[in-house]
Amino acid sequence: MQTTRRDFLATAGAAAGVAAAPSTAHADEADHDRQAVPSDPTLRVKALESLLVEKGLVDRAALDALVDLFEHKIGPRNGARVVARAWADPDYKRRLLADANGAIAELGYTGQQGEHMVVVENTPGVHNVVVCTLCSCYPWPTLGLPPVWYKSAAYRSRAVIDPRGVLKELGVELSEDVEVRVWDSTAEIRYLVLPERPAGTEGMTEDALAALVTRDSMIGTGHALAPGARA
């Protein structure tokens, strides 16, 4: 059964000795999700957000909508269109691999956290995966906000030490003859994975192709969807 990102973080957190919420004595609550105590920065952000909302300076719904916009709509959708164009247009693909910034800008996607981009291509013999070992450097203009698991200490350390094992836990099983390359994002360079084009997509429009591209496939922790599959 495929491991979810939440399962991965929970397992890694338990292995690292992260304190979990106290267990309950009630049998009917035994299956409830447990949540680790937020880190100090997280607590500070939540406290600041609560204060701003209480003072009427910020609308909580507007904040949620803004985060959702970057995390699920603007970001991954932009990256998906870049990938779809590369799949459909060999000339664009060559430009993308040679000059990612210029090719991505052709589609109108530029901005902070994406000034210096490098695109790496997955092939039958090579699988690329992206991590930021120092913090959470991530290409916002193409992928939006980084997911929680990408920023976790478990992923940032283990993706470098045991990338094949981490990928397997996240549902990406690779044969031994496939080389795994790990790319460490920095403040200077952000990486985007060009996933392999799924079989059976010949003749599909760019819009249809873009619908098959997932955020995780552009990080390297997932594959693009097969035609007809759902994320």
Instruction: Give CA 59 to chain center in angstroms.
Output: 27
Instruction: Please provide residue 117's backbone torsions phi and psi, each rounded to the nearest 5 degrees.
Output: -105, 145
Q: What is the pLDDT of residue 51?
A: 83
Q: Report how far residue 140's alpha carbon sits from residue 111's, in angstroms, rounded to the nearest whole number.
A: 8
The domains of the chain, with CATH numbers, are 43-219 (3.90.330.10)
SS3 labels along 16-42: CCCCCCCCCCCHHHCCCCCCCCCCHHH
Q: Report how far residue 9's alpha carbon sits from residue 217's, in angstroms, rounded to the nearest whole number.
A: 19
Return the bridge partners of 117, or none: 190
Q: Report how far residue 118's alpha carbon sits from residue 209's, in angstroms, rounded to the nearest whole number.
A: 21
In Å, how far are 54, 96, 147 from 144, measured between CA atoms?
28, 19, 9
**Angle, CA of 159, 165 and 166, to the nearest 5°:** 45
According to DSSP H, which parts of 55-212 are helical?
Answer: 60-68, 75-88, 90-98, 100-106, 140-143, 148-151, 153-161, 163-169, 206-210
Tens digits of pLDDT across the chain (231 residues) = 445 555 665 555 554 444 333 444 344 444 444 445 556 666 777 787 788 888 888 788 887 777 776 666 666 899 999 999 999 999 999 999 999 999 999 999 988 887 899 999 999 999 999 999 999 999 999 998 899 999 999 999 999 999 999 999 999 999 999 999 999 999 899 999 999 999 999 999 999 999 999 999 999 999 999 998 876
Instruction: Give CA 145 to chain center in angstroms.
Output: 8
3-state class of 114 per DSSP? coil
Q: What is the pLDDT of residue 30?
A: 40
Q: Report how far residue 184's alpha carbon sits from residue 132's, in angstroms, rounded to the nearest whole number.
A: 5
Catalytic residues: 132, 135-137
Q: What is the pLDDT of residue 5?
A: 58
Prediction pTM value: 0.73
Query: Nearest to residue 70, comparing CAs of 28, 112, 127, 116?
Result: 112
Could you tell me the two tokens for 56? 């009427």
